[in-house]
Amino acid sequence: MTGDDYLLDNQQSEAGERFDALAALFNPTTFRHMEAIGLTAGWRAWEVGAGGPSVPAWIAARTGGPVLATDIDTVWLSDMAESIDVVRHDVGVDPAPDGPFDLVHARLVLVHVANRERALATMVESLRPGGWLLLEEADPGLQPLVCPDESSDAERLANRLKRGFRALMAERGVDLAFGRTLPRLLRRAGLVEVQSDAYFPMGGPACDELERATIEQISDELVEHGLATPEEIERHLRAVVTGQLDLATSPLVSAWGHKPA
């Protein structure tokens, strides 16, 4: 989807806070998969929809570069190391960048892309024979509650706001059950040795920070669409920052496979 359609606009200050929280939550899982795939010195890698700098920087430290980091909005990718090439690129529209790549990775990207089929084909096309594709997407449908233990008014309000957030995402074309489809999509794209797993974070400072930054970023949309009042949003944010809630994030489904050699 275009930047105008994207609910979580990268231009807003909360976007950087969300990137930091997502990195704290999901980088260990992402890096574990990359290490298992065999990421090593000399590999060429493409980080699709990089958002923030943490993943391409980690890849570059292990491969020595070059790493290609692309996004439709590169505002959070300034001042990167020389081993990282930052390029504005829409994976659902633009042709594949110059490859081939040993590893292509996209996390929390495809679910926001209108032409997902073309985006996936572009990533597969860019792989060298034997190259690996690692896709990671949230699946809110697998765990729709931000407070799985709904035992208080504050937790019920949190879950109602989460339902409002999901409604806004669905309105913009986000498939809330997309994560679980990744293994099938990789096999259908011709990749082999496809595997997958899921990680479900629950509790802790990063979950709290992600919730705070997300709600602050979408608060105007929630009010405009009649999904919450300003008072309810203020009350929820107060509960978040004072540690009154046991917050969860949607499970992250990871799937990986490689192009036949």
Q: pLDDT in tens for each of the 261 residues of the chain? A: 444 455 555 555 566 788 899 999 999 999 999 999 999 999 999 999 988 889 999 999 999 988 999 999 888 787 777 789 999 999 999 999 998 999 999 999 998 888 999 999 999 999 999 999 999 999 988 988 999 999 999 999 999 999 999 999 888 888 889 999 999 999 999 999 999 999 999 999 999 999 999 999 999 999 999 999 999 999 999 999 999 999 999 999 999 999 998
CB 28 within 8 A of CB 227: no
Task: Specify the pLDDT at position 235.
Answer: 97
Q: What is the pTM of this model?
A: 0.90
- List, in sequence order, every beta strand (DSSP E) within the chain: 45-48, 67-71, 84-88, 101-107, 127-138, 192-199, 252-258
CATH topology of domain 13-258: Rossmann fold (3.40.50)
pLDDT confidence of residue 7: 53
For the chain, the domains span 13-258
Quick check: 36 and 53 in contact, CB under 8 A? Answer: no
What is the structure's pLDDT at 100? Answer: 97
- In this predicted structure, what is the pLDDT of residue 1? 44
Q: What is the structure's pLDDT at 30? A: 98
In angstroms, the first-to-last Cα distance of the chain is 33
Query: What is the enclosing helix (H) or strand (E) of 250?
Result: none
The residue among 216, 89, 190 whose CA lies nearest residue 133 is 190
